[in-house]
Amino acid sequence: MPNPENLRNFTYEERAINGRKGGLKLGENNRKRRAIKEALIAYLDQKDPNSKDCQDKEITNAVSIAIALINKAKAGDVQAATFVRDSSGEKPVDEQIIDAGELKKLVVEIVE
């Protein structure tokens, strides 16, 4: 447990400066994440030059990845099968219902 003697209170100005630093860093991280996401989406939308399934149709990288995952799932890879199931919208609901039964009222009398 921290020693209260070693703790100090920050002034309003110090809190404002530190809050600004945190906000700037958050913006920087969000820009990096957005750039990575846009690059991945652009890559997935590109035509796959190595596709062997249908040479007469344009197959994107996203479709090639999906086909590879389905083939792994068919071969018995449980994680691939779970991913395919969840990504196709068939994920089971993660829900638990707890029935507490009938609530009872507890009355306590204090006698002196």
pLDDT, tens digit only, all 112 positions of the chain: 667 777 888 899 999 999 999 999 999 999 999 999 999 999 999 988 877 666 567 788 998 899 999 999 999 999 999 999 988 887 777 666 666 666 666 666 777 6
Distance CA 77, CA 87 (A): 15
Classify residue 40: in a domain, yes or no.
Answer: yes
Structural domain boundaries, residue 53: 9-87
Residue 90 confidence (pLDDT): 79
Residue 16 confidence (pLDDT): 95
Distances (CA, A) of 86 to 17, 47, 79, 92: 44, 25, 10, 8
Q: Could you give phi then psi for residue 60, rounded to 5 degrees?
A: -85, 170
Classify residue 76: in a domain, yes or no.
Answer: yes
Classify residue 56: in a domain, yes or no.
Answer: yes
Total domain count, the chain = 1
Classify residue 24: in a domain, yes or no.
Answer: yes
Classify residue 109: in a domain, yes or no.
Answer: no
> What one-character DSSP code corresponds to residue 93?
P
Classify residue 74: in a domain, yes or no.
Answer: yes
**pTM, to two decimals:** 0.57
Residue 29 confidence (pLDDT): 97
Residue 94 confidence (pLDDT): 67
CB of 60 within 8 A of CB of 45? Answer: yes
Classify residue 94: in a domain, yes or no.
Answer: no
Burial of 66 (0-12, 13-18, 19+ CB in 10 A): middle
Distance CA 71, CA 64 (A): 11
